[in-house]
Chain A
C-alpha cells in the first residue's frame, strides 16, 4: 500500500527564511554586490559560466551570491535559467587563431612567433599568503609595453607544416547538440568535447591526473595554452549579415602526445584539445588530456580498461549537475522505500530464527 505523506510546509518556509538571513551574514558588514563578485571573484564567475554552459558574467555573479559561494549550486542555478532561454541560433565556429590574447604559452617550444606571454598568472608566485591583502586596498598596477598587433598563430601549426603531428582536417561538419538530443554511445569527438567543456573541473582534473600517472598511456606536453577574447560571429536572420554579436573569453589548450605511426604513415605526434569559457586553464588542460585518452580507438591503441579511456564512464559522470542531482536526492524523504526494505529484513530475520 502506498501512503502519501504531507506536511513540513512551515518547517520548509522557516528553513528558507533562515537561509536568507544566514546568506546575508553579519549585517554590520557591508553587503556584497554583484559587480564586486564579477570584478573580484572572476575565476569563480568563469567556472560557473563554463560549467553552467552560459556566458553571462552578471548572472554568474548573481548565482554565486545566491548560492552562498557554493559553486555547484551556482552552476545548477545557471543551468536552470539557461533552459528558460529561447535559442536564437548558432554562431559561426570561432577562430581562436584570431584571439586577443592575455596569455599565450608553450611548454614545447621556447622560441615561437608571437613569443611566450605569461599574462595575469598564478604561475611563479610563491603561494605564500599575502597579508597585505588583509590590510589595505593597495595593489600593483600592470606594466605596459609597446607591441605589434599581429595575429598569433597556433604553435601546433608549425609541427603541422612538417607533418610531425596528426592533422585536424578542416571541416564544416556540425555536431549534434547534447543539450537537445539524448546521448547515444559511441559518441563523436565533437559530442564528447561539448560534454567535457561543461564537465566538472574536479572530476576532469582527477581523470587527467590518472592518465599522467599511467592509467592510459599517453604522456602529454602542453603544446599551447592561450587565454583571451574571441569575437563570436552570428548571422542576423532578418538581414543575412554576419556580425560580431559577442566578445567571449576562452581558454584553449592543445596537448601534444606520444606518437602513432603505421606502415602507411610515418610516426607522428597526436593531440588532445581543450576549450572552455573564461580563464580556466586547469580545466582546459584536463579536458585536452581526457579528450586524448578517449581517442584510443581512433589511433588503434590498446584498451587498458581504465576510466579515462572509457567514454561512457567519463561522459556519463562528468556532469556535476546530473551527479549532484542524483547524489543529493537520496537525502530527501525515502520513507516508503525504506519501510519496504525494513519489512524485508525483519521477515528474513524471523525465518532465520525459525530455522535455527
Chain B
C-alpha cells in the first residue's frame, strides 16, 4: 500500500535526529532542482492527551514543528513536516518525500530511510535494555512463625 509506506518514511523523516539526517543527506551529494510551494515555516502542533488515559481529550501543550512543501516538476510534490525548528531538516524531508515517488526511490530508501529506521530502533533497544536492568525482582522472606 502506497499510503502505508509513505506514512512510514514521512514518520522516519519527521522524528529523525536532525544532525544525523543532515549528514546522511549531505553525504549523498545530490543536486536536485525544485520549486517552493511553501517555504519552510516554524509553527507548533497542540498535543492532545486523554483524561485518565482513555477518556475525553484534553490539550497538554505544544511541540515545535517545521514544515515546507515543494515540487520537483509539475507532478511530484514533497512535504516536509518535521519535529523541531530546523528549516534545513524540513527541506531535506520534503526533498526525500518527493524523491521517494521517483525512480530515485531506492537510493533514498537505502541511504536515508532505512538508516533512520535502524538508528531509531537502536535507540529504542538501548532504552528497553537499560530499563529492563532496573526491573525489580521481589522475593519473600520466610517469617519465624511459619517454621
Contacts and interface: CB of A to CB of B under 8 A. Distances in A.
Interface of A: 49-50, 53-56, 58-59, 82, 85-94, 96-97, 100-104, 110-111, 115-120, 142-147, 149, 154, 156, 168-175, 177-179, 188-191, 193-194, 197-198, 228-229, 231-232, 234, 236, 238-239, 241-248, 250, 252, 254, 271, 273, 275-277
A89 B46 contact: yes
Interface residues of B, number: 54
B57 A119 contact: no
B64 A85 contact: yes
Given A189-B56, A246-B14, A246-B63, A91 B134 contact: no
Most buried by B among A85, A102, A189, A198: A85
Given A89-B45, A194-B58, 12 more contacts: A91-B45, A94-B47, A110-B138, A117-B135, A144-B133, A168-B53, A174-B48, A175-B58, A179-B59, A190-B59, A238-B77, A275-B49
Given A56-B85, A146-B129, A190-B51, A275 B44 contact: no
Contacts of B10: 236, 241, 243
A170 B6 contact: no
Nearest to A233: B11
A93 B49 contact: yes
Contacts of A149: 128
B44 to A, nearest CB: 4
Given A88-B44, A91-B46, A103-B131, A172 B64 contact: no
B117 to A, nearest CB: 12
Most buried by A among B79, B81, B84: B81
B45 A234 contact: yes
CB-based closest 6 A-B pairs: A168-B52, A168-B55, A190-B58, A244-B11, A147-B132, A144-B129
Interface in B22-71: 41-65, 67, 69
Interface in B88-126: 124, 126
A90 B60 contact: no
Interface of B: 3, 6-7, 10-11, 14-15, 41-65, 67, 69, 77, 79, 81-85, 124, 126-136, 138
Contacts of A142: 130, 133
Contacts of A86: 41, 43-44
A114 to B, nearest CB: 9
Q: Is the interface of A mostly helix, strand, loop or mixed?
A: mixed
Given A55-B63, A87-B43, A142-B133, A190 B57 contact: yes
A265 B48 CA distance: 31
Given A90-B48, A117-B136, A232 B63 contact: yes
Contact of A169 (B55, B79, B132): B55
Contacts of A177: 46, 59
B55 A170 contact: yes
